[in-house]
Structure 1
Amino acid sequence: MTNLVRSNFQAHPFHLVSPSPWPINSCGCLLALTTSIVLWMHAFINAQYFLNIALIVLISSMSLWFRDIISEATYYGNHTLAVQTGLNMGVGLFIVSEALFFLAIFWAFFHSAVLPNVAVGGLWPPRGIDSINPFELPLINTILLLSSGVTVTYAHHSLIQGERSGALYGLVLTVFLAFFFTYFQGVEYLVSSFTLADSIFGSCFYFGTGFHGLHVMIGTAFIAVGLWRVLAYHSTDHHHLGVESSILYWHFVDIVWLALFISIYYWGC
């Protein structure tokens, strides 16, 4: 019995991750997803069916992976203070990498907008492109996204203070506002007079706003999972790393949108 206790004794506060099939399975699904997207773009027969299958299997694999992580954090108590510190650092580094990704997009935009070359007639926006009025749908989306930043901050402070109802209301309002932001972004794309293929202006516009829209959808799912965990009593006033990470990610999405609105929508048009 003494030997058994000693063998189970851990002299450090870090969690040693158990063997899991989900990382390699998710990698395979991502490879299948990207390959099927390329095939679908080139109009290969039945490529869309492979795309749908890869997407469904990827979502299932990631959901099961997240289930295991939630069990480790909530039921097994493996996420000690040292583990939470490392996870916070990982989320911070991930957001920094995303910021550098958007920096490349803004670099491409300003490189083309400040000194437009002869291929676009030396004008910005290029001749023949009717840019979107920033004080219509983009302004509405800005109000929606900034309002969601307020509601998610309210939810965060309510959770820290142990006010569960305030946290729930704040997260529900955040998801609600994020949904309408995505909806109006889709409407904007439908009524736009130019496409992705319309010179470097269209490429920069849709690349920047489209990838931001993708981040909004990911952030919405992130916050929705946090909402479910608060609802299921997984998150407490002193242990809510998942919800806090989603809120930090959402503030990053807000800041990127402000930069997009000022540079691409307002200054760029």
Structure 2
Amino acid sequence: MSKKHQFHLVDPSPWPILVSFALLFCAIGFIFYIHDLRIGKYLLPISCISLFITLFLWWRDVIQEGQNGHHSEVVKAGLKIGIIIFFISETFLFASFFATYFFSKINPVVILDGIWDITIGKWPPAGITKINPWDLPFINTLILLLSSNSVTWAIYEIETKNQKDSSLALIITVMLGFLFLAFQIYEYHHAEFSMKDGIYGSNFYLTTGFHGLHVLIGAIFLLICYFRAKRGDFIKGSYLGVEFAAWYWHFVDLIWLFLFVFMYILD
């Protein structure tokens, strides 16, 4: 039976529902963990590992579909619309974090005898020693800006069919991403406040932590693209996958710039 359209009718896949359940249990495990429930210490890492495995298998299937010639121009356009919608949803996610932060900063609350008083509150709250923005946060900002340049370099080399330099640019970006995460973990370890230190600590760690998770996902995404580049996939065929990875990386870098300005410098 001949196909009279350019759309790809995908086979039934278990990955969307499995990813949904993995995300659900990640959220439940995180809530249990921050409330010191023992099950959270096991549920959170198990669900996170399950999420990464199912996402990897889903991406594998999408890559194979593209290599088998199923990604027509119409399909590619649909994929681009999909990732743009994803970026919009992520923007709203981080916007909610920033809104919580700004509301708490503008209206710092002190509870006296069970009564909320916003007239004597201060920001950061008493007892909180904020992190110096011109120390590790500034270094991390430079790292991400440098990584944005290297991933742009990678796209340029792929467009010019330069397999060697495109692979080099991708692995440099991946290494910069993991270096950022290493500095972020070091900063968390040496910070003089924790997630349990009121609204300031919980909002700071939640927002920067979610950003760090996005950096980790982006670094893994680019690492997969690196292995594909070494294999010559992007030279021989479409490079839509690495283009999406670059978009994602630039988005993560942009979010960090807002974080750096509002939660470090202007805090």
1:145-164 paired onto structure 2 within 5 Å: 145-164=144-163
Once the 2 structures are TM-superposed, how far is the Cα of residue 66 of structure 1 from its aligned partner? 2.0
Once the 2 structures are TM-superposed, how far is the Cα of residue 208 of structure 1 from its aligned partner? 1.5
Name 1:105's counterpart in structure 2: 97
Once the 2 structures are TM-superposed, how far is the Cα of residue 70 of structure 1 from its aligned partner? 1.2
Q: C-alpha deviations, 1:223-256, integer Å up to 9, x for none?
A: 1111111112222376111100010010011111
Once the 2 structures are TM-superposed, how far is the Cα of residue 131 of structure 1 from its aligned partner? 0.4
Q: Residue type of the partner of 2:163?
A: R
Compute the TM-score of the two structures, normalised by the length of structure 1. Answer: 0.88
1:14 aligns with 2:29: no
| Residues 178, 216 of structure 1: 8 Å contact kept | yes
Name 1:65's counterpart in structure 2: 58
| Residues 15, 55 of structure 2: 8 Å contact kept | yes
Rounded Cα–Cα distance in structure 2 between residues aligned with 1:144 and 1:22: 34
Once the 2 structures are TM-superposed, how far is the Cα of residue 36 of structure 1 from its aligned partner? 4.4
* Structure 1 unaligned regions, length at least 5: 1-6
What's the secondary structure of 1:236's corresponding residue?
helix
Name 2:83's counterpart in structure 1: 91
What's the secondary structure of 1:235's corresponding residue?
helix
Name 1:174's counterpart in structure 2: 173
Rounded Cα–Cα distance in structure 2 between residues aligned with 1:208 and 1:33: 16
Q: Residue type of the partner of 2:53?
A: S
Name 1:4's counterpart in structure 2: none
1:196 aligns with 2:188: no
Name 2:128's counterpart in structure 1: 129
Rounded Cα–Cα distance in structure 1 between residues aligned with 2:134 and 2:73: 46
Q: Residue type of the partner of 1:87?
A: L
Rounded Cα–Cα distance in structure 1 between residues aligned with 2:214 and 2:177: 11
Once the 2 structures are TM-superposed, how far is the Cα of residue 100 of structure 1 from its aligned partner? 1.5
Name 1:254's counterpart in structure 2: 253
* Structure 2 unaligned regions, length at least 5: 112-117
Compute the TM-score of the two structures, normalised by the length of structure 2. Answer: 0.89
Name 2:241's counterpart in structure 1: 242
Cα pair distance change 1:257/1:56, threshold 3 Å: closer
Once the 2 structures are TM-superposed, how far is the Cα of residue 116 of structure 1 from its aligned partner? 2.8
Name 2:262's counterpart in structure 1: 263
Once the 2 structures are TM-superposed, how far is the Cα of residue 123 of structure 1 from its aligned partner? 1.5
What's the secondary structure of 2:131's corresponding residue?
coil
Once the 2 structures are TM-superposed, how far is the Cα of residue 198 of structure 1 from its aligned partner? 1.6
Cα pair distance change 1:199/1:148, threshold 3 Å: same
Rounded Cα–Cα distance in structure 1 between residues aligned with 2:166 and 2:153: 7
Rounded Cα–Cα distance in structure 1 between residues aligned with 2:103 and 2:33: 32
**TM-align CA RMSD:** 2.1
Q: Residue type of the partner of 1:136?
A: D
